[in-house]
Chain A
Amino acid sequence: MTEKFDVIVIGGGPGGYVAAIRAAQLGLHTACIDMYTGKDGKAALGGTCLNVGCIPSKALLDSSKHFHHLQHDYAAHGISVSDASIDINTMISRKDDVVSKLTGGVAQLFKANKVKQFHGRGRLLADRRVELTAHASDEKTILEATNIILAAGSVPIAIPNVEYDNKYIIDNEGALDLKEVPARLGVIGAGVIGLELGSVWQRLGSEVTLLEALPSFLPAADKDISKQAARLFQKQGLDIRLGTLVKSASIADGEVKVKLEDKNGESEISFDRLLVAVGRKPYTEGLLADDSGVKLNERGQIDVNENSQTNVPGVWAVGDCVRGPMLAHKASEEGIAVAELIAGKAAHIHFDTIPWVIYTDPEIAWVGKTEQQLIEEKADYRSGSFPFAATGRGLAMGDAAGMVKMLADELTDEVLGVHIIGPNASELIAECVVTMEFHGASEDLARIVHAHPTLSEAVHEAALHVDKRAIHRGN
């Protein structure tokens, strides 16, 4: 007796669980198979994001930020603290609490929406059948569905000659669970994950060295932002080495010895811990039976069209296992869109208005095109910018590094991209995403009232500056 569903979702991360909830809301009989097991040995929904990604890293970033502020910034406010210390275990426990609150929350949402949850592995067979291997019993059962959504996510990329042992050489998961502050932390990859996790431990006292193979820093970000970011992070004490290739890493005498190659030739460096954060790749291992019919592209992603459909009718795929930015909110939007398409509604995702955020301090956030992209496209554009140091709120907060940079079409003034480095960039970017979704002009933002004193005034003034009529800065 095979159980039949309208929708089976394989994967319970931000792509999968959101798709499942939406499908259920739309009246579809939905099941979600997720294989993640929490520290307590039980099912933990939410995928990489909730368990070992977005959420725990933000928790640790905030904890470490508080500690850093305490040690370095509070004196300016007149606050003096002696013998400040941080208990790593407490910090990690708090993080675990946050995670379990959220994963528990998703489980509640599943119950409330009557999504049938399976803790185990799902494998797509032919003819819209799914083989479920339950973790608890290891039993295999066959489930059937009219529609199957693949949301298997991604896993960290390994590099040759650097093997994870999850003790000395770790990935993001390990970096979120260190028992003590490593004296020297090496990070391979100065991308989002490397920067964020490197920041956490650096604030807690680690000597952090980031080893980046590419010659440029944050190439996906606008060049003015990445330039400012590099300067700010270096000042914070992060040692960022560009154009540095890691040839091998080996563990000996309780340390990790890393062989490097850069423009000066080969060298060796030792760390107490080595975090590999060179990127993530789609996770499709054991997901597709040979006769499932689903095609992968040359990057190992599940091949989908603009509606997230695979080449097999009734089989969809969303999130990190398909093309596009590997962002949780992108996965969620795709999940919702697919659920709605399955339910017969119209749905679209606009990839050009997906915001990107890096939760370093200062935060970095952007949406739309970078200036270098516009130059390459030979687009006619104007740009404006405004430093947080010229905002009342920023100065009052004592947190005013960074700026807002806005790019708009030369003729129509349509906002083409907004780039922010500074306090609360992750929140400030939302207004810009809305503006771009409505094809708004920089003048629209310039003519909309922004509360005073706020950091959002920097967005307002940057918009004014596009037209060279900012009030609080030279034009």
Chain B
Amino acid sequence: MSTEIKVPVLPESVADATVVQWHKKPGDSIRRDENLVDLETDKVVLEVPSPVDGVIGKIVRESGETVTSGELLAIVEEGAPEAVKETDKDAAPEAEKETDKEAAPEAKKGADESAKEDVAVESARAPAADMAKLSPAARRIAEEEKADIAQVAGTGRGGRITKGDLIHHVRKTAPTGPRPEERVKMTRLRATISKRMKEAQNTAAILTSFNEVDLKAVMDLRVKYKEAFEKEHGVKLGLMSFFVRAVCAALRKYPIVNASLEGDEIVYHGYQDIGIAVSTERGLMVPILRNAEHMTLAEAELNIREFASRARDGSITLEDLQGGTFSITNGGTFGSLLSTPLLNPPQSAILGMHAIKDRAVVDQGEIVVRPMMYIALSYDHRIIDGKDAVLFLVAIKDALEDPARLLLNL
């Protein structure tokens, strides 16, 4: 009994297929499900397996011919197959079938995957001859490192790839150049900062909220009263003092931001000790402005200035650094636009100041250029809710954008 082998139904949008390769010739025996022929379409390579055991009777469409769905390809005479010889010829197409099989579904996968498959297929077909031409040592390295020898420049005689060429090739993928390591023991200060930073992260539930401040009003004030201030108080009118005042005012409105969690008790501090982060060569230090709520702008500036110089020359004392109910850090001095400061335990919040940039903003329907600063409040969500954090920041923003509010305690 003969079985007709027809071209399978081709996937939609595929008009026809080309017969690529017959794996059997007339007279060969074939088993059921063994691949008879490969058909190639625009998209995929299809295999046509035999539905029956038998012997190839006749091949109707030859390699290279174009066929359409349902066309007759071959006739298989049914019958028990002869002992199917696994000849090399069969084995080779088998191997090719494997890789083509990978190639076929791969056409449907994403681009990345297909690229990966391509490489796998490439090296599977990678001229075993080329690998064999390598010297024994070179071959060993190529195999161990799975090197793509097509990429290796050969410096041996006649351009041959030497062991050294492969060593260099393997190194090229690894970082080049000297990579020395120097071990320096942490200073005590650094070790302490390190410990405290981690503790802060591990205990508090730290989030950061952001806002932006239009510092025109503050800048104008500074310009206007710069000389007078300095003359009167013997210290420059900086930006920090404004921020300290704004922070203090906001902390009064939202006392939870000034509190700390001890065990299961929230401790509301009736005073405001504001830590001012100072960057020194030895590391970060946060000296405390005690009772900042009572300081005038000048006093704040004086204290900050003194702390800064004492921190830098290493004469800060431990008392200076202890305690604090809230901190301010200014990354803007280094150019930071936006950041998420880390809390200074046992404080529950910290304000981050950033670089002031002239930006185009909208004021009453008009686009204007204003000196803008992003401000960030990192806070402990265990005791401070988002609403408080946001409102706190808004209060700071409002106070700075309209300094009269500070005067009026609004």
Contacts A412-B163, A438-B135 hold; do A443 and B140 have CB atoms under 8 A apart? yes
Q: Which 6 A-B pairs have the closest CB atoms?
A: A412-B164, A447-B136, A443-B137, A441-B163, A439-B156, A441-B137
> A414 interface residue, CB < 8 Å from B?
yes
Interface contact B167-A440, CB-CB below 8 Å: no
B155-185 vs A, CB cutoff 8 Å, 1 = contact: the mask equals 1110010111001100000000000000000
> A81 interface residue, CB < 8 Å from B?
no
The chain B residue sitting closest to A440, CB to CB, is B135
The chain A residue sitting closest to B167, CB to CB, is A412
Contacts A443-B137, A443-B140 hold; do A412 and B157 have CB atoms under 8 A apart? no
Task: Identify 19 residue pairs between A and B in the complex whose beta-carbon atoms are under 8 Å apart, listed by A's number.
Answer: A412-B163, A413-B167, A414-B162, A414-B163, A414-B164, A438-B135, A438-B160, A439-B156, A439-B160, A439-B164, A440-B135, A440-B137, A440-B156, A441-B138, A441-B163, A443-B163, A444-B136, A444-B137, A446-B137
Interface contact B156-A413, CB-CB below 8 Å: no
A443-459 vs B, CB cutoff 8 Å, 1 = contact: the mask equals 11011100000000000
A443–B156 alpha-carbon span in the complex (Å): 15
> A437 interface residue, CB < 8 Å from B?
yes
A439–B161 alpha-carbon span in the complex (Å): 9
Interface contact B157-A438, CB-CB below 8 Å: yes
- B interface residues, how many (CB within 8 angstroms): 14
Give the residue of A409, A437, A448 whose beta carbon is less than 8 angstroms from that of B157.
Answer: A437
Interface contact B157-A444, CB-CB below 8 Å: no
Contacts A437-B157, A438-B156, A438-B157 hold; do A443 and B136 have CB atoms under 8 A apart? yes
Within 8 A of A (CB), among B120-145: 135-138, 140
A469 to chain B, nearest CB (A): 13
B149 to chain A, nearest CB (A): 16
> A136 interface residue, CB < 8 Å from B?
no
The chain A residue sitting closest to B163, CB to CB, is A441
Interface contact B160-A441, CB-CB below 8 Å: no
B159 to chain A, nearest CB (A): 11
A439–B157 alpha-carbon span in the complex (Å): 7
A437–B156 alpha-carbon span in the complex (Å): 8
A411–B156 alpha-carbon span in the complex (Å): 15
A448–B136 alpha-carbon span in the complex (Å): 7
Within 8 A of B (CB), among A399-442: 409, 411-414, 437-441
Give the residue of A439, A440, A441, A447 whose beta carbon is less than 8 angstroms from that of B155.
Answer: A439
Give the residue of B155, B157, B160, B164 whose beta carbon is less than 8 angstroms from that of A413.
Answer: B164
Please, which residues of chain B bring their CB within 8 A of the CB of A448? 136
Please, which residues of chain A bring their CB within 8 A of the CB of B162? 412, 414, 438-441
B interface list, Cβ under 8 A from A: 135-138, 140, 155-157, 160, 162-164, 167-168
A136 to chain B, nearest CB (A): 48
A443–B135 alpha-carbon span in the complex (Å): 9
Among B136, B155, B160, B163, the most chain A Cβ lie within 10 Å of the Cβ of B163
B167 to chain A, nearest CB (A): 6
A interface list, Cβ under 8 A from B: 409, 411-414, 437-441, 443-444, 446-448
A466 to chain B, nearest CB (A): 11
Please, which residues of chain A bring their CB within 8 A of the CB of B140? 443, 447
Known contacts A438-B135, A443-B136, A448-B136, then 9 further A-B pairs from the complex at CB < 8 Å, ordered by chain A residue? A411-B167, A413-B137, A413-B163, A414-B162, A414-B163, A441-B162, A443-B137, A447-B136, A447-B137
Please, which residues of chain B bring their CB within 8 A of the CB of A444? 135-138, 163
Please, which residues of chain B bring their CB within 8 A of the CB of A409? 164
A409–B137 alpha-carbon span in the complex (Å): 14
The chain B residue sitting closest to A448, CB to CB, is B136
A372 to chain B, nearest CB (A): 23
The chain B residue sitting closest to A443, CB to CB, is B137
Contacts A447-B140, A448-B136 hold; do A441 and B164 have CB atoms under 8 A apart? yes
Please, which residues of chain B bring their CB within 8 A of the CB of A413? 137, 163-164, 167
The chain A residue sitting closest to B166, CB to CB, is A412
Please, which residues of chain A bring their CB within 8 A of the CB of B160? 438-439
B41 to chain A, nearest CB (A): 47
Please, which residues of chain B bring their CB within 8 A of the CB of A446? 136-137
A351 to chain B, nearest CB (A): 15
A414–B156 alpha-carbon span in the complex (Å): 10
A365 to chain B, nearest CB (A): 22
A447–B168 alpha-carbon span in the complex (Å): 20
Please, which residues of chain B bring their CB within 8 A of the CB of A439? 155-157, 160, 162, 164
A115–B140 alpha-carbon span in the complex (Å): 50
Please, which residues of chain B bring their CB within 8 A of the CB of A440? 135, 137, 156, 162-163
The chain A residue sitting closest to B161, CB to CB, is A439
B168 to chain A, nearest CB (A): 8
B247 to chain A, nearest CB (A): 61
A446–B139 alpha-carbon span in the complex (Å): 13
B172 to chain A, nearest CB (A): 14
A448–B164 alpha-carbon span in the complex (Å): 17
Contacts A437-B157, A438-B157 hold; do A411 and B135 have CB atoms under 8 A apart? no
B40 to chain A, nearest CB (A): 43
Please, which residues of chain A bring their CB within 8 A of the CB of B156? 438-440
The chain A residue sitting closest to B137, CB to CB, is A443
Contacts A409-B164, A411-B164, A412-B163 hold; do A441 and B135 have CB atoms under 8 A apart? yes
Please, which residues of chain A bring their CB within 8 A of the CB of B136? 443-444, 446-448
A244–B266 alpha-carbon span in the complex (Å): 100
A54–B167 alpha-carbon span in the complex (Å): 42
Please, which residues of chain A bring their CB within 8 A of the CB of B168? 412
A441–B140 alpha-carbon span in the complex (Å): 12
The chain B residue sitting closest to A463, CB to CB, is B137
A95 to chain B, nearest CB (A): 39
A298 to chain B, nearest CB (A): 35
Please, which residues of chain B bring their CB within 8 A of the CB of A447? 136-137, 140
The chain A residue sitting closest to B134, CB to CB, is A444
A138 to chain B, nearest CB (A): 50
Please, which residues of chain A bring their CB within 8 A of the CB of B163? 412-414, 440-441, 443-444
Please, which residues of chain A bring their CB within 8 A of the CB of B157? 437-439
A440–B160 alpha-carbon span in the complex (Å): 10
A368 to chain B, nearest CB (A): 15
A438–B134 alpha-carbon span in the complex (Å): 11
Please, which residues of chain A bring their CB within 8 A of the CB of B135? 438, 440-441, 444
A444–B164 alpha-carbon span in the complex (Å): 11
A447–B141 alpha-carbon span in the complex (Å): 12
A107–B354 alpha-carbon span in the complex (Å): 96
The chain A residue sitting closest to B157, CB to CB, is A438
B145 to chain A, nearest CB (A): 14
A436–B157 alpha-carbon span in the complex (Å): 10
Please, which residues of chain B bring their CB within 8 A of the CB of A438? 135, 156-157, 160, 162
Please, which residues of chain A bring their CB within 8 A of the CB of B167? 411-413
A329–B135 alpha-carbon span in the complex (Å): 27
